[in-house]
């Protein structure tokens, strides 16, 4: 997105040839979407017109309609889809580089909080046009948001947790991020990786440990024939490298 903005911010005397070159380097669809984001960050959804977007993108209103036949609604829909994709793509990069469970939680929560709080268009809407955003986060809609976040992030946790635990922990982490962003705490800044790490070590990892131990106890009670786990297997948050050679089922979900 940054490269697009740099391309759009040109001296007022830039000629038609430079505009043509910019269009060749950046697809019109991307220019329109990023221009719409810039406009919304400055003046919100209600005041942003297709003329504003076209002017910002350096193209005509007719061009915008050709790329987005739905007009303003079509542009806004594309903006939402694009930003959601960018958000999850950034999460995937950060979480995919993690070396253990603590790191994957810290990286994911920090990246999510940073992208949300520093998103210009979203920040403007929450401050000046909350009616555009809040209905998408209330009641059943919030359940959908949490379910989507959990479904996307749980596979990254699955390197160290079994499936059911990964899904529960992913939703828990998402709820933590939403709660702190909705009601900020003075002593916890989720955009500060050191503070997020302290939060994870103090509260999240002990909770996961308790969940894992309870799951093993339930499995032992429910299936006397199950072979007890020895040492620290891949489901424990403090056990180092995942054990990919073990096939013993010890949790309630696996034993059944």
What CATH class has 1-99?
mainly alpha
Residue 58 falls in which region: left (phi positive, over 0), alpha (psi -120 to 50) or beta: left
Looking at every residue in the chain, the average pLDDT score rounds to 82
Residue carrying structure tokens 């948050």: 237
What distance in Å separates the CA atoms of residue 47 and residue 87, rounded to the nearest whole number?
A: 25
- Please, which residues have CB within 8 angstroms of residue 156's CB and are 6 or more apart in sequence? 92, 95, 96, 98, 104, 108
Q: What pLDDT is recorded for position 48? A: 98
Q: What pLDDT is recorded for position 218? A: 66
What is the average per-residue pLDDT within 36-59?
97
Confidence bin at 212 (pLDDT 50/70/90): confident
Domain extents for the chain? 1-99, 101-221
Q: What is the pLDDT of residues 161-190, one digit of tens each?
A: 999 999 999 999 999 999 999 999 999 999
Decide if pLDDT at 255 tops 90: no
Q: What is the pLDDT of residues 65-101, one digit of tens each?
A: 999 999 999 999 999 999 999 999 999 999 999 999 9
What is the average per-residue pLDDT within 133-141?
90
């Amino acid at each position: 997105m940054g490269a697009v903005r740099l391309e759009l911010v040109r001296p007022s005397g830039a000629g038609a040839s430079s505009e043509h070159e910019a269009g060749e380097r950046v697809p019109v669809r991307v220019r329109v979407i990023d221009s719409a984001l810039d406009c919304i960050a400055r003046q919100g959804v209600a005041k942003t017109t297709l003329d504003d977007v076209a002017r910002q993108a350096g193209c005509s209103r007719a061009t915008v309609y050709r790329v987005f036949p739905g007009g303003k609604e079509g542009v806004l829909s594309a903006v939402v889809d694009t930003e959601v994709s960018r958000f999850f793509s950034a999460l995937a990069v950060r979480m995919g580089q993690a070396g253990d469970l603590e790191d994957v939680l810290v990286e994911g929560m920090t990246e999510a909080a940073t992208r949300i709080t520093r998103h210009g268009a979203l920040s403007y809407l929450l401050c000046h046009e909350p009616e555009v955003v809040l209905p998408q986060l209330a009641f059943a809609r919030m359940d959908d948001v949490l379910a989507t976040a959990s479904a996307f992030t749980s596979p990254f946790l699955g390197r160290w947790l079994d499936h059911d635990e990964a899904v529960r922990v992913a939703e828990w982490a998402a709820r933590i991020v939403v709660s702190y962003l909705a009601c900020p705490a003075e002593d916890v800044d989720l955009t500060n990786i050191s503070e997020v790490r302290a939060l994870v070590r103090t509260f999240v990892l002990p909770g996961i440990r308790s969940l894992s131990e309870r799951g093993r106890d339930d499995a032992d009670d429910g299936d006397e024939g199950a072979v007890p786990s020895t040492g620290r297997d891949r489901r424990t948050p403090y056990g180092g490298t995942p054990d990919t050679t073990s096939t013993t089922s010890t949790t309630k979900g696996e034993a059944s």
